[in-house]
Amino acid sequence: MVVKRKLSCGSNVFDFPSIPKAPRSSRRKVSSSKLGDDDDDNSQICAIDLLASLAGKLLEESESSSTSTYAFEGKNHDVHLGGGAVKQEELEHVYINNKPCKSEFSDHEANADLQVSSVESDCVLEQTPVFSDCKKEECGLKSLVGTEEETCVVNEEQGEATGGFVADRFSLKDPSQLRLQSPESVHLDGDVKLAPCTVRVSDDSFQGYVNHSKLVCRDDDNNYCKYYKFSDNCNKSYRPPSRVGNRRIKKSVMKNYGRGVSMLKCFEDTRTDGHLKALYRKRKFSYGYGYNPWKREPVHRKRRLSDKGLVVNYDGGLSSESVSNSPLKRESEDGVLSSEIGLHLKDSPVKFSIKSLRIPELVIEVPETATVGLLKRTVKEAVTALLGGGIRIGVLVQGKKVRDDNNTLSQTGLSCRENLGNLGFTLEPGPETLPVPLSSETPVVSMPTDSTNLSERSVAASPALDIVIPLPPQDADLLINSGKSVENNHELVPYQSDISADEQPSPDSRALVPVSALESGALAIVPLNEKPKRTELSQRRTRRPFSVTEVEALVQAVEEVGTGRWRDVKMRSFENASHRTYVDLKDKWKTLVHTASISPQQRRGEPVPQELLDRVLAAHRHWSEHQMKQNGK
């Protein structure tokens, strides 16, 4: 396996190792560190640095060339995307912005642990579909972009046999979810993945992906829904570069999954309206019964991030969003795990894949009169400042931080599927991380210190440009204020990497409660000061909408046995549906009754045949009366 350390493009050189403040020692280890005991931290950091650097460069590029797109041309026609992989050497012929991009690798074989299969950064940049007429299939690609599942497939197909740590994507996502996907191509073990839209390759075989929207909207129901749509209609969604600038980033939704376990945001819609709408809708932390994300489902369907998603830890800590391991991702829609999973048990190498890493939330404030360029710079600086301070990686298993770097993964309990599902990572700002000293006077960019505050601010933000636009600091230097700004925050507790793993979160200590993740294996880790109730049990199940077939079965069963006998209903019609508990059925019935009671226009989700709804009402009425009679007697 090889780690690409340097990518030079004409005059632009992506010198990953030279990332700002990250410890050199660790950077240097990028190519050689092993997922071993001692170096895992470093290697991960390096990966991040590496990616961050690239992202940063791309950002700069975007600023300097407003009309240009991030072209990432692969001149080498030997690249095999379908089932093969582009070898490192071949990457040397990659071009960016028409400039030859030379990649320098340090050949490092065997158990190299670091695999950076893609780089993805978010920022306010042009999204320029380059190719207008293409289809994924034609490219011989199996959707390297878009979903984790797909990415997984690719890895498998390419016979990625070596165990290792895969940083599949690295996204530098600012809270507004402005996303720029830089070329995703730093796959160390040979395959090249290109970012959607922003990637341009000369080889026809690459065209498949270049047109995907890089603006991803992950939905609870439709993973990366918009993403898909966009990509599936490349030709239609094609737009000339000139319009990209008008894009707006839409509001995102903060999600407080599992009782405030996480805060999630994502694009609600980043499709083809040519606008990016800044998003920033942060939900105030509400633990306990404060907020029920599930109930919000209908309203904020576009939010996603949950599954693979990340949680944004704005308290200055960086949290890894979308940490997942491939085995777990193999779960299909219906919840059936593919057979691949078994491969990772026993002695097989444990494979991890971090879909993306997200930086903590940033509040960007720029005057309305500010230029887009300024906004870009602001974002860039914020991100740079954050990363510049160095990052530390934390590993959490079962919600507990694993401190002993010398234990093997298996010793740590990371050897089976179940446990992998409880794995999480955290990105923590290094001790020295506190970036730019800010002049409290004009902090343009800052780490939100209060979710409520943020929420309010976003509401107050301009409708058009939903980015917080308060006092106009004009072109003042953008400063970033992280970490310490939250010292007095009551609600948020920075995730201190120093928190001893041994220190069991005391009942009222504001221990972090990693949340996770859904069966996709992705873990959402967030520091919080919530009552550490669900600490280790806080895994919210994946939402699985009932299919019409299931509804029918449910209706059928209820008609027969009536309401109030959910266990019987379960055994009767959902005996083999392990993911449907009788409580689920009861809940579903509840919603069905409600759905049937409202007008069709108000219904959401997959439409349930009126006929079924009628039966629901009939059965509901019948059994209600039945119960009345019983009570009467």
Which residue, 541 or 603, has its beta carbon nearer to DNA? Answer: 541
Least gap, CB of 447 to DNA (angstroms): 28
Which residue, 295 or 346, has its beta carbon nearer to DNA? Answer: 295
Identify each DSSP E strand in 475-596 by its residue range. 480-481, 515-517, 522-524, 539-540
Which residue, 10 or 545, has its beta carbon nearer to DNA? Answer: 545
Least gap, CB of 587 to DNA (angstroms): 4
Q: Count CB neighbours of 403 within 10 A.
A: 16
Pairing relation of β-strands 164-167 and 114-116?
parallel
Contacts of 610-614 with CB under 8 Å at 24 or more apart are: 612/548, 612/551, 612/552, 612/555
Find where tokens 């972090």 sit. 512
For the chain, counts of helices (H) and of strands (E): 19, 21
Which residue, 476 or 561, has its beta carbon nearer to DNA? Answer: 561
Rounded CA separation 155/159 (Å):
7
Which residue, 83 or 607, has its beta carbon nearer to DNA? Answer: 607
For residue 281, which amino acid is it?
R
Least gap, CB of 567 to DNA (angstroms): 3
Which residue, 386 or 515, has its beta carbon nearer to DNA? Answer: 515
Least gap, CB of 382 to DNA (angstroms): 34
Which residue, 436 or 523, has its beta carbon nearer to DNA? Answer: 523
Which residue, 138 or 606, has its beta carbon nearer to DNA? Answer: 606
Least gap, CB of 336 to DNA (angstroms): 15
Least gap, CB of 254 to DNA (angstroms): 17
Phi, psi at 353, each rounded to 5°: -145, 120
Least gap, CB of 633 to DNA (angstroms): 16
Least gap, CB of 289 to DNA (angstroms): 3
Name the residues that contact DNA, by CB under 7 A: 258-259, 289-290, 292, 294-295, 533-534, 537-544, 563-568, 579, 582-584, 586-588, 590-591
Least gap, CB of 149 to DNA (angstroms): 19
Rounded CA separation 23/391 (Å):
9
Which residue, 500 or 549, has its beta carbon nearer to DNA? Answer: 549
Instruction: Compute the residue count for the chain.
Output: 633
Which residue, 24 or 590, has its beta carbon nearer to DNA? Answer: 590
- Give one DSSP letter per residue of 301-329, joined into a string: TT---SSS-B---TTS-EE-BSEE-HHHH
Least gap, CB of 563 to DNA (angstroms): 6
Q: Count CB neighbours of 43 within 10 A.
A: 27
Rounded CA separation 523/399 (Å):
10
Least gap, CB of 211 to DNA (angstroms): 34
Least gap, CB of 591 to DNA (angstroms): 7
Q: Which of 23, 18, 19 is nearest to 431 (CA)?
A: 23
- Planar angle of CA 388, 18, 494, nearest 5 degrees: 20
Q: Which of 202, 232, 183, 208 is nearest to 81 (CA)?
A: 208
Which residue, 446 or 563, has its beta carbon nearer to DNA? Answer: 563
Which residue, 295 or 629, has its beta carbon nearer to DNA? Answer: 295
For residue 630, which amino acid is it?
Q
Q: Which helix (H) or strand (E) covers residue 47, if one does?
A: helix 40-64
Instruction: Find the radius of gyration of the CA atoms of the chain.
Output: 24
| H-helix segments, 92-144 | none
Q: Which of 569, 609, 596, 597 is nearest to 585 (CA)?
A: 569
Least gap, CB of 362 to DNA (angstroms): 29
Which residue, 257 or 495, has its beta carbon nearer to DNA? Answer: 257
Phi, psi at 12, each rounded to 5°: -95, 125
Least gap, CB of 301 to DNA (angstroms): 14
Which residue, 175 or 532, has its beta carbon nearer to DNA? Answer: 532
Structure tokens at 562: 């009536």
Sort 546 into a burial class: Cβ within 10 Å, 0-12 / 13-18 / 19+: buried
Least gap, CB of 352 to DNA (angstroms): 24
Least gap, CB of 577 to DNA (angstroms): 10
Which residue, 402 or 515, has its beta carbon nearer to DNA? Answer: 515
The alpha carbon of residue 313 and the mean position of all alpha carbons in its chain are separated, in whole angstroms, by 13
Which residue, 392 or 534, has its beta carbon nearer to DNA? Answer: 534
Rounded CA separation 129/274 (Å):
12
Phi, psi at 434, each rounded to 5°: -55, 110
Structure tokens at 190: 């040979």
Sort 46 into a burial class: Cβ within 10 Å, 0-12 / 13-18 / 19+: buried
For residue 410, which amino acid is it?
S
Contact 123, 379 (CB under 8 A): yes
Pairing relation of β-strands 351-354 and 539-540?
unpaired
Write the CB contacts of 598 (distance below 8 Å, at least 6 apart in sequence). Answer: none
Q: Which of 375, 503, 359 is nearest to 435 (CA)?
A: 359
